[in-house]
Amino acid sequence: AGSAARPGGHSCSDPEISWALPDTSHVSHDDLTSQVGEVLLYYCYCEVSDPERLCAWQKALCQHLHLTGKVRVASEGINGTVGGSKVATSLYIKVMLSQPLFKNILCQEDFKSSAGGAHCFPDLRVGVFKEIVPMGIDPKIVSYKETGIHLSPQEFHREVEQYLSQATQGQSDTILLDCRNFYESKIGHFQGCLAPDIRKFSYFPSYVDENLELFKDKRVLMYCTGGIRCERGSAYLRSKAVCREVYQLKGGIHKYLEEFPDGFYRGKLFVFDDRYAICSNEDIISACRYCGVLWDQYKLCSSQHCRQLVLTCPSCCNKGLTACCPVCQEKELKVTSRASGQTLKEECECTRRRPRVPIEHGSPRVLDTGK
C-alpha cells in the first residue's frame, strides 16, 4: 500500500505456482547452515487458488535452504517467520520475489529481518489454515481488502508526536491502539497507547465489540509487530462504522524501529520464537513477577502443563520461583509426584484473574512510560 492509501486488495488470475528451487551448488554447506544468520518476518495477502500446492512448495523450499520457522498458507495469502544463515535467507527472499503468485504484490521491503538464525526455532512447521493470522473470523466476512489507511513509519511517527502533544492538554480525538496480546505490550509499547488486556488475537474482535463507545468518532492509530494483525484488525474495526478514520503502521513496529530506534516506542519488541524479544533501546519497562525489580526477559512457566510466559529475574529463579503464579508453582510440585500418564488441566491464577474480553470503563486505559 502506498503512503496514506487504502489498497483495494490484490487479485491473482490463478497464476501457476513455480516449483523451482534455487541452485545452491555454488554455496558451501557451512555457509548454508551457519548459525550466524537472521530471522525473516513477512506476509503477503493475495488470492491463492491452491493452498495445498503452495504449502508443499514452501515446505520443500525451506528444507532445501535449511530454514526453520513457521509458515501459514491460506486462500487469502501467506504469512511466515523463518530463520537461517544469511546466504539461505537471501536466497529465500530472491525466490519468493520471483514466484509468479506474488509478482507485483510482494517486494523487498516487505521482509523484516533481525539477528538470529535457524536455532531460533525448534523446527519447521508449514501448514494450510483458514486465515494467515488467526483472528477467528472468516476472511470472506472481514477481508484484508477493507483494511485501514497505511502510514509509513515517518508518517506514523509524526501522528504519534501530535497525539502525545494533544493528549497532555486533554484535547486529543485520537486513540493509539496496540493490537497485540498483553504479554507483548507488557515489555514494550508506544507511549500513551491503549493496550487491550487480551491473551490471543482471536479475542480482539470481541474486545472491539465490547468497547465500541471508546472508538466512537475517534481517529484510531493501530500498530502491531509486523503489520499483519492490523490488516484484518483495522478491517474489523472499520466494519463497525463507529470511527472517524482508521490508520495503521505499515510494516509494524519492526519497520518503525529501523527508522526510529529511539522514537516513541519504549522497551523490547516481543517476537514469536525462542528469542522472545529483540531490542532497539536500553529501556526496561516491565518488572519481575515476584520481587518487582526491572526485568524483561521471558521464560516459559516451569509447570509443564502451563504455556504462560513469566518474567522472573535470576535472583528469584535461584530461589525456585520459576512458575507464572503460586498456583502453578504448587501444581508443578504435585505433577512430579503423580503417576506417569496423568495430566493436570491448564488452569492458573493468571488465567482465572484475566477476563477473556476486558471492558474499558470511562477513559481508555493507556500505557505510558518515560525514558
Q: Which of 120, 193, 224, 288 is catalytic?
A: 224
- Angstrom distance (rounded) from CA 201 to CA 207: 10
Determine how many CB atoms are found less than 10 A away from the CB of residue 247.
24
The CA angle 61-254-140, to the nearest 5 degrees, is 65
Cα 261 to Cα 29, 113, 332, distances in angstroms = 35, 15, 40
Cα(162)–Cα(153) distance, rounded to whole angstroms? 14
Terminal-to-terminal C-alpha distance of the chain = 33
Spell out the residues 6+ positions from residue 113 whose beta carbon is closer than 8 angstroms to its own: 38, 39, 40, 41, 89
User: Does 224 participate in catalysis according to the annotation?
Assistant: yes
The one-letter code for the residue type at 347 is: E
| Helices vs. strands in the chain: H and E counts, helices first | 12, 17
**Contact present, 103 and 88 (Cβ < 8 Å):** no
Residue tagged 519488541 (cell numbers): 269
Q: What is the CA radius of gyration of the chain?
A: 21
Residue 77 contacts residue 123 (beta carbons within 8 Å): no
The gap from C-alpha 296 to its chain's centroid, in whole angstroms, comes to: 17
DSSP string, 265-302: EEE-EE-SSTT-EE-SS-----B-TTT--B---EEE-S
Give the integer Cα–Cα distance in Å for 64 and 79.
19
Angstrom distance (rounded) from CA 290 to CA 310 = 10
Residue written as grid cell 523463518: 82
Catalytic annotation, residues: 224
